[in-house]
Amino acid sequence: MARFLIVFLIFGLTIYALIDCARKDETEIKNLPKWGWLLIIILLGVQAAAIGPMAYLIAGRNRRNRGPKSKRRILPPDDDPDFLRNI
């Protein structure tokens, strides 16, 4: 039972890292190109005790700020002070 659980966790980690890498933009991945990380994840995934996925998660991903994204909010014209100044 424990062997099955370990294999299941390694397989899940490999799938997670593969999907995460495939969905990221090229600019969000560091140290190697995207195709290089995908190749490492696939080749060193389940066969090599998840060395590839762990390497990607540690060294290949950019860490995001966990705070809210600071997007500029679009204001309607009657609430926008810059627009009202220009009238």
pLDDT the model gives residue 30: 85
What's the whole-number average pLDDT of the chain? 81
The residue type of 22 is A
Predicted confidence (pLDDT) at residue 13 exceeds the cutoff of 80: yes
Instruction: Give the rounded distance of the alpha carbon of 71 from its chain centre.
Output: 20
Asked if 73 and 36 touch (Cβ cutoff 8 Å), the reply is no
At 50, the pLDDT band (50, 70, 90 cuts) reads: confident
Q: Distance between CA 63 and CA 36 in Å, rounded?
A: 19
More confident residue, 46 or 60: 60
Grouping H, G, I as helix, E, B as strand and the rest as coil, residue 61 is strand
Task: Show the tokens assigned to 61.
Answer: 């991903």
The residue type of 70 is S
At 19, the pLDDT band (50, 70, 90 cuts) reads: very high
pLDDT the model gives residue 31: 87
Grouping H, G, I as helix, E, B as strand and the rest as coil, residue 29 is strand
